[in-house]
């Protein structure tokens, strides 16, 4: 997982590029809420706000993801987040 705007977009762009270069259909999924970066430990809500208000809108504006997914477990995020 990229866990920040630049690295998430880098991964999604790489997947898009592969899809354009090969005779296969590649669907990209934004996984920004799958893990908590070390610098965000102790403040999951702030990280979710960053994902929802900055990272995901930027990914969507560039059309980089076909879907978005989040990880709701005790070690990650709650459904409320």
For the chain, the structural domain boundaries read 5-70
Q: How far apart are CA 81 and CA 73, in angstroms?
A: 11
Q: What is the dihedral of CA 33, 64, 19, 3, to 10 degrees?
A: -30
Cβ atoms of 33 and 77 closer than 8 Å: yes
Q: Is the pLDDT of residue 75 over 80?
A: no
User: 25-68: per-residue pLDDT in tens?
Assistant: 999 999 999 999 999 888 999 999 999 999 999 999 999 999 99
User: 15-28: per-residue pLDDT in tens?
Assistant: 999 999 999 999 99
């Amino acid at each position: 997982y990229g866990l920040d705007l630049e690295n998430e977009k880098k991964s999604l762009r790489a997947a898009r590029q592969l899809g354009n270069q090969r005779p296969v259909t590649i669907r990209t999924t934004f996984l920004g809420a799958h893990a908590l970066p070390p610098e965000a430990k102790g403040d999951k809500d702030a990280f979710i706000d960053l994902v929802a208000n900055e990272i995901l809108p930027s990914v969507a504006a560039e059309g980089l993801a076909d879907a978005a997914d989040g990880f709701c477990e005790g070690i990650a995020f709650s459904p409320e987040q």
